[in-house]
Amino acid sequence: MKNNHFDYIITGGGSAGCVLAMRLSADPLVRVLLLEAGGSDLHPFFHLPAGFAKLTQGRGAWGWSTVAQRHLKGRVMGYTQAKVIGGGSSINAQIYTRGHRADYDEWARDCGATGWAYDDVLPYFRRAENNQRYANHYHGYGGPLGVSNPTSPLPICEAFFQAGQESGIPFNADFNGERQEGLGYYQLTQLAARRSSAATAYLRPVRSRQNLVVMLNTMATRVIVESQRAVGVELAQGGSRALQVIRAEREVIVSSGAFGSPKLLMQSGIGPADHLHSVKVPVVHDLPGVGANLQDHLDLFAIAECTGDHTYDKYNRWHHAALAALQYLVLRTGPAASSLFETGGFWYADGPGSARSPDIQFHLGLGSGIEAGVAKMRNAGVTLNSAFVRPNSRGTVRLASADPWAAPLIDPNYWAEPEDRRISLQGLRMARELLRQPALERYVKAEVLPGDAVRTDAELFDYACVNAKTDYHPVGTCAIGPLHDRMSVVDAQLRLLGIRSLRVVDASVMPRVPSSNTNAPTIMVAEKAADLIFGRSLAAAPGVPIKRSTPNCLEETS
């Protein structure tokens, strides 16, 4: 194999990139190069489920922030984006949710994403799964991605479900099954009480393939385009800014995420011409939709003080942490085996039937100050996050300059649409009411944030401007769309419009954000993309569980 020639070059070793590397390299005649700007996932925090709490606070991340948010009184938010092999799947809270059937049906019906309706994508969700509990129409087992129920839930979680029922919200055992409504335990991307990231599930079992090369600490700086065809990638290795070019015989596949993919395309001269001119990047292809259509879930939270040590806050003290580590090493249970946000659910901001499907998502955090930027209390606390999952506001990703090492300008444009603000604040009210239900009285002493003094819409808005945070679910910046729409970036085959041999495969192609966490949908996109690249499709008979897919990394290591 020539060191500087490959059939496929994948720029980005995140969730999508790892899936593609495994699936494409299953053909021994295909030469695949996977580039990842970050390093390895050897640190134990990347594998301990509870390591999530440390990872949102800097390790393995780019350290980017949003621009000042006009509709949140100029608030600038830190925005953790992974810089490690496995991408977001290596640092997230491991919550495995897919969204609602209607999300995907709307992609196909309203957004020009032919072939991406729910019945089209369900087989790819199932092919990915190695589900430890379910084998039915909605779930498969034997796939690469470990999916399991929490190993060590706390009693306060069950009381939370009871509080939901007192509020009229039913219990739901499977948010990815027949219905999404209700509260319950999230399934998690874990296997044997360890994080099942895309790096461990998809990439690690096939790293020895002779036709697969993985280059860490290597940043793609530009896609090379000749005669309107992508022919390779310009890159820099390690801390050096020395550039080299590697050629792609078949395709360049951009999989750098909802921020990184439009950034790389614009650095390559592919994007809105007026913006490229403004930052002095030569225009190769005027494509206005690149970096537009940014969507994200904005999160509001309530924190309450507990009546005792009912959550994991005490394990921040060294002696309790040592005991938790011992429990995990011996039994694979306890605080270290928890994702800390393994309980939650979906409901309607304005009551059942008020929307086509639930529009509020809850995450119950088993402590306070779990995530970066969230207040921590002196005594044990519990956090209840709420998010409006179908925002109408749209933002942008733009270049700050022509320098590939400069951070992008990230503008989610939160609450540009007044209805987003109204529904979000209603979700916060619902969270506060849930914490006040009788079933939680034995665990919850009093609300600390927002606090009893915060009651009116204006007061809640002021609280949100100071405390709102992202759920880290950016999508849409290289969206699938019809050929006649000037804001479309890729077609339904994920081929970039106007440039041959160039695809985008990651969350950026989603035309609308799913009504859920976004890691499982991103893995699905890459699973389907691999078949699109090879010119094949996957269909599953209704009711028949998918056991093993071909090719499957588990077969490679047996």
Burial of 157 (0-12, 13-18, 19+ CB in 10 A): buried
Question: Which amino acid, one-letter code, is at 267?
Answer: Q
Amino acid letter, 479: A
Q: How far apart are CA 143 and CA 202, in angstroms?
A: 9
β-sheet bridge partners, residue 387: 299, 361
User: 10 Å Cβ neighbour count for 557?
Assistant: 10
Q: Where are the alpha helices (DSSP H) in 172-284?
A: 198, 257-267, 273-278
Q: Which two tokens stand for residue 346?
A: 């979906």
Phi-psi label, residue 319: left if phi above 0, alpha if psi -120 to 50, beta otherwise: alpha
Residue found by looking up tokens 């690249």 in the block: 533
47 an active-site residue?
Answer: no
Q: Radius of gyration over alpha carbons of the chain, in Å?
A: 22
The stretches of 35-113 forming alpha helices (DSSP H) are 52-55, 101-110
Residue type, 448: V
Give the pairing type, strands 285-286 and 270-271.
parallel
Rounded Cα distance between 134 and 127, Å, is 13
363, two tokens: 């995450």
d(CA 35, CA 398): 22
The one catalytic residue among 47, 139, 310, 473: 473
Distance CA 462, CA 300 (A): 12
C-alpha closest to that of 18 among 79, 115, 84, 64: 84
What residues contact residue 20 under an 8 Å CB cut-off, 6+ apart?
Answer: 8, 10, 34, 253, 255, 505, 526, 529, 530
Rounded alpha-carbon distances, angstroms, from residue 301 to 86, 181, 427 = 28, 20, 9
CA of residue 247 relative to chain centroid, distance: 30
Q: What are phi and psi of 8, to 5 degrees?
A: -125, 135
Q: How many CA atoms lie within 13 A of 285 on its CB side?
A: 23
Return the residue matching tokens 């799964």: 129
Q: Which of 265, 260, 280, 281 is nearest to 222 (CA)?
A: 265
Cα 395-398-403 angle, rounded to 5 deg:
160
CB 77 within 8 A of CB 255: no
Which residues have C-beta within 8 Å of that of residue 289, sequence separation ≥ 6?
478, 479, 481, 485, 486, 487, 488, 489
Contact between residue 288 and residue 294 where contact means Cβ atoms under 8 Å apart: no
**Active site (catalytic) residues:** 473
